[in-house]
Structure 1
Amino acid sequence: MTDTLHIVLDDTAMTAAGGGNILASRLIHRAHAEPGWYLYAPACALVEADRARPGTAEHLASLPGVTVLDLDLAAALAIAQQQTWATAHSQYAAQPTADRPDGAVIATTAPYRWASKPVRVLDLTP
């Protein structure tokens, strides 16, 4: 049986991937090359990453191992009350779903941002 790993890239991880962060690059490679590895890019986080590093959104959206998560009605209602939509959409995407009963891990280069949140974190700080 293949182990399954679901990882949500926050905006800092997306920006890092475009900036040569080797850990982020390895995640992207594994999601493309290995069965059971899934990477998700929440749309709101993708927008913030593209603001920080123009071209990031187009690049990540073109990668076969990355699934862009739309801002659907349920997500919009869940994040509308938050201060930053990028963080809120990433947190929402990491919650358990029918497809991801154990939820997902959030990959980030800013782990302090998630210290008070009920999520699992994968620190991509080099």
Structure 2
Amino acid sequence: MDPLAATMKIAAHGLEAQSMRLRVVSENIANAGSTADAPGGDPYRRKTVVFDSVLDRASGAEMVTIRNVGVDRSDFRELYSPGHPAADEEGILRMPNVEPLIEMSDMREASRSYQANLNVIEQARTMLMSTVDLLRRA
């Protein structure tokens, strides 16, 4: 496989992986205040993305992939809120295990990785176009 094509393919896999990560982080942030539907029930549980690398036999390069989208099994936060409809009989309200500060950090990191992969694709495209221009002139 052409090195530029392989580079673009690797970066495209990175874009896809970071795009999924951004979607999951956005969902976590959107549900940071979501409580259970019934008293004493479980609120929204934070989702996580697990990456993996897979060898692309055509190019001989390692590609990033999403192994799975799982859930964070850490404890829920508990608040005393006896008037809330989702609170249990003791007035304890279970809140999602989402920490907005961590999610924002993950979002920033995913966004930067996405941008870096986009820059790789743009540079490879520029090099390819320069090569085509040189071949046209020859």
TM-score bucket of the superposed structures, by smaller chain: under 0.3
* TM-score normalised by the chain length of structure 2: 0.26
